[in-house]
Structure 1
C-alpha cells in the first residue's frame, strides 16, 4: 500500500511539472507579456468618413487581451472626435486597462498624440517631446512611457511612439536617436512599440536595431490594410537578454483603422 501511494504521488508531480492547461495544451510561462501596437486613425474607420468607432478599436484590443497597448493617432477633446471625448481614457474603460497619454500637437480645439494602455497600474508615466531639424516642416512627435510592477514584483517600462512621416528621414533619425537615449536611462527592461514610418533596413530602423531587438526579423507587412506592402509598425525591446520572443503576429483586422494591429508575446527572462 505504501508503495502505491508513493507511485501515485510521483505521477501527480510529473503531471504538474509539464506546465499544461486543463485542455492539455502548453500553458504560457508565468512571465509572459503580450504587447499590441496599433495606429488607430483616431478611431475613424477608413470606409466610414467622419465616423468615430471606439467600440471597434476596443473590440480589437479585447479580442487580443494584451498586457500593454501602444496607441498612435489618438484624439483628446477634438472637434472631429468629440469635445468631451478623451480617446485613450475611453479605451481604458472599455478594455479594463490604465491609460497614459502624450500630446504630439494641438489639433481641432484639443490634442492629438500617442498613448499607452496597461493591464497593470501605472506607477510612473511620462511624455517626452522628440526633436526635429531646424526649419523642418515635420509634425512634432512624442514618446509616451509608463513604468509598472508585474505580478511577480518585477518592473518594466512600456513605451509608445510615432515617428515623423516626411522625406528625407532627417527627423526620424533625430527622433529615434533621442528615443534610444531616453530609454537607455530606464534602469529596467523596456518594450518600445509604435508606428515608425520607416521600413526595416532604413536609416531610422538601423538606429532602432542598434539599441533594441525587434520581435520579428522578416517582419510581415502592416499597411495598407487591404493590400499590405510595407512594414512600419514594430515592437522591440532592450536589453536583448531581458526577453525571449514567443510569437509575433500581424492581425488581419481591416475595418477599424488604416493600419493592421501588431501583437507579440514575450517572456521576461532577466
Structure 2
C-alpha cells in the first residue's frame, strides 16, 4: 500500500470524523441527572420551634444544583406556615424551578402534602391517593407525578411520595405506587420518605420492581438530622438498564429539617 493512498485514506477518515463525529459522540453519550429527595419538615428547623425558614431549604437545593427534587411535608396556605405562603410555589421561585404540589390532607385552613421541583418544564402532571387499611386510622398519603423531557427524545417520569407510619398501610401503598407507575412507558424515577428501612418488607417490595441507589453503613442514614441512625429516604428507578447510579450522597445539613436530603446522580 503506497504512501499516497495512505495519506488519502487518512484525510477521508479525518473528514468523516469532522462531519459526523459530534453526532456520533452525542448519540452514544449518556447524560447525567442529579436527583434530590428531601423531607423538609414544612421548612421548620427542629432547633427553632415555630420558625419557618424556607430560604434555608432553598439554599440546600441551590447549593447542590439538582435537576429534579422530590419534596415531602410541604405546607400550602395554612396557618402553621402562613396563610399566604405556598411553600411549593415559593421554593420554585427561590430555586428557579417548575413545581407541582399534591395535597394529602386539609390542614389548618390550607393544605399539606408532597411536591416536585423540576429544572425542565413539566409536560404532564398526575397524582394518586394512596390506599389505607380499613380502620387503621392512618394519615392520608399521596403520590405526585410529573413527565418531563430533559432532552428531545429522552422523556422520563418523576414521582414523589411519603408513606404512612403504619406498616400495613405502607405495604398497600407500595403496591399501589408500583401499579400506578407501571402504566407509564417512559423511564421512571421515584423519590420519597418511605418510613421504612432497607431490610423491611416495604422496601423489599419496591426492590422487586425498581433499582435503588445505595451507599453503605452509617453514610446512608437520613434521620434524625443530628447523629442520624437509620435510612428511610430513598431514590429508585426503572428500567435498570436505562439508568446507572454513579453517586449517592446524604447531605449533612443539620439545620433546615429533621431529615437529611439524599442526592443521587444517575447516568441516563
Please identify, of 195-204 and 214-223, the stretch whose mean Cα deviation from structure 2 is larger. Answer: 214-223
Look up the SS of the partner of 1:122 in the other structure: coil
Q: TM-score, normalised by structure 1?
A: 0.87
Distance 1:261 1:142 in 2: 20
Q: Max radius of gyration: which structure?
A: 2
Q: Within 5 Å, which residues of 2 pair with 1:140-151? A: 140-151=140-151
Matched with 1:193 is: 191
SS at match of 1:143: strand
Does residue 115 of the first structure (1) align with residue 115 of the second (2)? Answer: yes
Deviation at 1:152, TM superposition (A): 3.9
Deviation digits for residues 7-39 of structure 1 (CA, Å, limit 9, x no counterpart)? 9xx8xx9xxx9xxxxxxxxxxx65111000000
> Could you tell me which of 172, 176, 192 is aligned with 2:174?
176
Higher mean C-alpha deviation, range 254-263 or range 210-219: 210-219
Runs of 4+ residues over 3 Å off in structure 1? none
Aligned to 1:210: 208
Distance (whole Å) between structure 2 residues aligned to residue 235 and residue 127 of structure 1? 18
More helix by share: 2
C-alpha displacement at 1:99, in angstroms? 0.3
TM alignment of 1:1-270, pairs within 5 A: 31-166=31-166, 169-216=167-214, 218=216, 220-268=220-268
1:103 and 1:127 in contact (8 A); partners too: no
- Give unmatched runs, 5+ long, in structure 2: 1-6, 22-28
Comparing 170-179 and 218-227, the one that deviates more:
218-227
How many residue pairs end up in the alignment? 247
Inter-partner Cα distance in structure 2 for 1:172 and 1:188: 25
Which stretch of the first structure deviates more once superposed, 151-160 or 61-70?
151-160
What root-mean-square deviation, in Å, do the aligned CA atoms of Structure 1 and Structure 2 show?
A: 2.0
What whole-Å deviation, never above 9, does each CA across 1:35-67 have from its counterpart, x for those lacking one? 000000000000111100010000000001000
Shift of 1:218: 3.2
Matched-pair contact (CA < 8 Å) for 2:215–2:248: no
Q: Residue 227 of structure 1: SS of its match in structure 2?
A: coil
Deviations, residues 183-234 of structure 1 (Å, cap 9, x unaligned): 0111110000000000011010011101100011536110011111100000
Q: Distance in 1 between matches of 2:121 and 2:129?
A: 24
- Aligned-partner Cα distance in 2 for 1:240–1:185: 17
Q: Aligned-pair distance for 1:239?
A: 1.0
